[in-house]
Amino acid sequence: SWWQQISVGSMLLLALVADQAAVAFRRRRAQRNASTFTSIAPARAAEAGGADGRAAPRDATPAFSVTGAQKSYGALTALENGTFKVAKGEIVCLLGDNGAGKSTLVKIISGAIRPDGGAMELDGRAVHFRSPQDARAAGIETVYQDLALCPNLSVTHNMMLGREKTRRWLGFLPVRDDATAERDARSRLASLGVALSDYGLLVRGLSGGQRQSVAIARSLGEHVRLICLDEPTAALGVKQTAQVARLIRSIAAAGTGVILITHDLGTVRALADRIVVLSHGRVVYDGPVAHLAADQLWELMASGTMTSPDGSEEPRET
């Protein structure tokens, strides 16, 4: 009946208002959490890179450090001694065979899982994350291999997902402001050297490199000090890989620390300021990739040891 339709419509409207109130509450809580972790906006101006085109680290001061991170699942030790640092504007590649502990370490850093032991510091302050929301509030973002994009939404709507721009209709009713959202999405992508012909395109129509660029750009903001990228060039062609590599360099040049998980040694040698190799849950190498021959690096990743030029086995720990 007519009254039933009115009642159902009223209930839907009340549910929508309650949902928007819950979103506003979560945003205010995230802002309060951000003050707990003393979020400080990094300078965004780019610095000149080295002769190979990589951005040189802006500051040797560690933006982030993790010491002695541990995680076990019953009798299985996934991570025994996760220890390394990332300076501001530095690209650190995290390497290792499957099951070496890379994903576990990144999930600890991003707040997805809680460690059994160890400590983390961000800009010299101890941090403890109970959830990914805590890590994001502190300035740590993570882009996983699945990208978490909505293929049926446009580039703009994916960029603003969870932080939609609104305006007041009739002076009091909040409605989505697509024009402002597109300007913000265009500006954010342009700041990273990414340009699209149409920001209203559905994400399913983008190339792999463009989708990766959208996912990375969405995660960045003025407060972000560290970004973790999980296999960003996996399944990409040469041209798309080069596009993503340029994007990563621009992020580092702006002063943001980058942790990059990859199995592509070409990408490692092109981008890494430093590499950290894990084997069986332990860090077995932390240093420049240029100090290792390709076969030594593969050996480290596979066995946790490497053979020196004289044929002797070098120690696992560095």
Tens of pLDDT, residue by residue over 213-244, are 899 988 887 789 999 999 998 878 888 888 89
Residues 114 and 222 in one domain: yes
Q: Are 131 and 74 in contact (CB under 8 A)?
A: no
Q: Do 296 and 257 share a structural domain? A: yes
Structural domain tally of the chain?
A: 2
307 and 243 fall within a common domain: yes
Q: Is pLDDT at 203 greater than 60 in this prediction?
A: yes
In a domain, 196, yes or no: no
Least Cα distance to 40 among 67, 66, 65, 63 occurs for 63
Question: How crowded is the C-beta side of 58, counted as CA atoms within 13 Å?
Answer: 21
> What mean pLDDT value characterizes the chain?
83
Q: What are phi and psi of 291, to 5 degrees?
A: -80, -5
Strand partners, 275: 93, 287
Inform me whether the pLDDT recorded for 263 exceeds 60.
yes
Nearest of 237, 53, 205, 27 to residue 197 by alpha carbon? 205
Are 83 and 214 within one domain?
A: yes
56 in any annotated domain: yes
Q: 197, exposed or middle or buried, with CB in 10 Å at 0-12, 13-18, 19+? A: exposed
Of 269, 218, 208, the closest CA to residue 241 belongs to: 208
* Same-domain pairing of 19 and 147: no
- Tell me: do 138 and 253 sit in the same domain: yes
Whether residue 49 contacts residue 55, with contact meaning beta carbons closer than 8 Å, is answered with: yes
- pLDDT above 70 (res 192): yes
What is the rounded average pLDDT of the residues 25-31? 61
Q: How far is CA 105 from CA 155, 198, 253, 287, 313, in A?
A: 30, 37, 25, 18, 27
Do 65 and 3 belong together in one domain? no
159 found inside a domain: no
Question: Is the same domain home to 262 and 229?
Answer: yes
Indicate if the pLDDT at residue 116 is higher than 60. yes
Q: The domain spanning residue 49 has which CATH number?
A: 3.40.50.300
Residues 31 and 119 in one domain: no
Task: Name the token pair of 295.
Answer: 């076969």
Q: How far apart are the first and last CA of the chain?
A: 76
Helix (H, G, I), strand (E, B) or coil at 197: coil
Q: Express as a percent the part of the chain with pLDDT over 70.
A: 83
* Residue 193 domain-assigned (yes or no): no
Cα–Cα distance for residue pair 273/64, rounded to 1 Å: 15
Co-location of 115 and 245 in the same domain = yes
pLDDT average, residue stretch 248-261: 94
| Token duo for residue 178 | 């697509």
Q: Is the pLDDT of residue 93 over 80?
A: yes
Q: Is residue 270 part of a domain?
A: yes
Instruction: Identify whether residues 280 and 135 lie together within a single domain.
Output: yes
Q: Residue 313: which pLDDT band, with cuts at 50, 70 and 90?
A: low
- pLDDT at residue 45, as a whole number: 36
Domain range for 22 is: 1-36
Asked if residue 136 belongs to a domain, the reply is yes
- Predicted pLDDT of residue 134: 94
One domain, residues 115 and 22:
no
Categorize the per-residue pLDDT at 270 as very low, low, confident or very high, splitting at 50, 70 and 90.
very high
Determine, yes or no, domain membership for 173.
no
How much is the average pLDDT of 17-40? 58
d(C-alpha 11, C-alpha 19), whole Å: 12
* Residue 236 is assigned to a structural domain of this protein: yes
| Confidence check: pLDDT of 297 > 70 | yes
Q: Rounded mean pLDDT of 209-214?
A: 89
